[in-house]
Amino acid sequence: MDLERVHTFLQIAEAGSVTRAARALGVSQPALTERLRALEREMGADLFVRTRRGVRLSEAGRALLPHAERALAAVDEGRRAIERLRHGETGRLAIGSAPAVSMYALPAALRRFHTTHPDVHLSVRTGHSEEILELVLADEIQVGLVREIRHPDIESSTLYDDELVLVVEKTHPFAERGRIRIADLAFEHLVTFDRASSYNELTQALFREAGVAPRGVIELDNVEAAKRCVARGLGVALLPRQGVREELARRTLRAVQMVGARPVRRRIVAIRRRDAGAPPSAVAEFLDLIRAQSAA
């Protein structure tokens, strides 16, 4: 059924007159009459009985009335649902995240988002940046939170720059000094994590450029394990600042400046399919929360 014709039918039924219905709808009486006749042809029955005072519903019209009311109510509800979706009140938020982002930047942002958007369905998948890229390209997630990565079919926006910071156990001699030369690390055991991570690549590149080879290396598969080894005095580590914020605040780990070494930073970006159009409100608001969380 044509919704305009259905609306015409309901307006005439309420007004009890084609003339009054035409006036209420702001259309001419002949135009409204034609809409009604088209609906009656479609239904194969007369929907009104014409009287001297106007019109009243026929048996067919009374049978159609509740269905017509439900049809327009369903359309109105659909419009409201779209409006709520447009304002980020409902819908879904499907995220893919690299491990360091999902462990440190994501939880607080998710908590805040859920508080203000309780009816939005959240889902999170984790993996290395290349894996998240594939999920974005396959349209399995709406947005990926990854290291800076390039692909002709995606567009990216910067979230924050995560710096690698040298951390040591609180009684380590470096902690008291506060500043060292990168060459001093040649006499230390280095704790590294996740050989497949770009953080590991950045660390190794820094030492190669400086011509420094640490005395020993302990390889682990995640930042949390690396932090615990450092806290127990098993070595020193270059770890993402986002990942050691709490330990630095509690002073269970100490940050040490490396004099003469270039800053080591990794840009974290949000990636989306280039053909996805403007991000839904829920996605845009969530990314703003990530940026605010990282800047705090």
Could you tell me the CATH number of the domain that includes residue 33? Answer: 1.10.10.10
Looking at 42, 68, 86, the residue that finishes a domain is: 86
174 & 133 share domain:
no
Q: Which residue has the tokens 């999920």?
A: 135
138 & 273 share domain:
yes
Q: 103: domain range? A: 92-159+267-295
3-state secondary structure 175-204: HHHCEEEHHHHHHCEEEEECCCCHHHHHHH
167 & 245 share domain:
yes
281 & 154 share domain:
yes
187 & 106 share domain:
no
Where are the strands (E) in the chain, listed by range? 48-51, 54-57, 92-97, 121-126, 143-147, 154-169, 179-181, 189-193, 216-220, 237-240, 253-259, 265-273
The secondary structure of residue 236, as a DSSP letter, is B
Maximum Cα–Cα distance for the chain, whole Å?
Answer: 106
CATH number for the domain that contains residue 170: 3.40.190.10
The tens-digit pLDDT sequence of the chain (296 residues) is 678 888 888 999 999 888 898 998 899 989 989 999 999 898 999 999 988 888 999 999 999 999 998 988 888 877 776 676 666 555 788 999 988 888 888 888 999 988 888 888 889 999 989 999 999 999 999 999 999 999 999 999 999 988 889 999 999 999 999 999 988 988 889 998 766 677 778 888 888 888 888 888 888 888 889 999 999 999 999 998 888 999 999 999 999 999 888 888 888 999 999 998 878 888 888 999 998 877 76
Is the pTM higher than 0.85? no
79 & 141 share domain:
no
From CA 71, how far away is CA 35, in angstroms rounded?
A: 17
In the chain, DSSP finds a helix count (H) and a strand count (E) of: 12, 12
169 & 251 share domain:
yes
Counting the structural domains of the chain, the total is 3
189 & 43 share domain:
no
Looking at 52, 86, 120, the residue that finishes a domain is: 86
191 & 245 share domain:
yes
Looking at 34, 66, 86, the residue that finishes a domain is: 86
172 & 244 share domain:
yes
Q: Which residues does 45 contact at the CB level (< 8 Å), separation at least 6? A: 58, 60
From CA 271, how far away is CA 133, in angstroms rounded?
A: 8
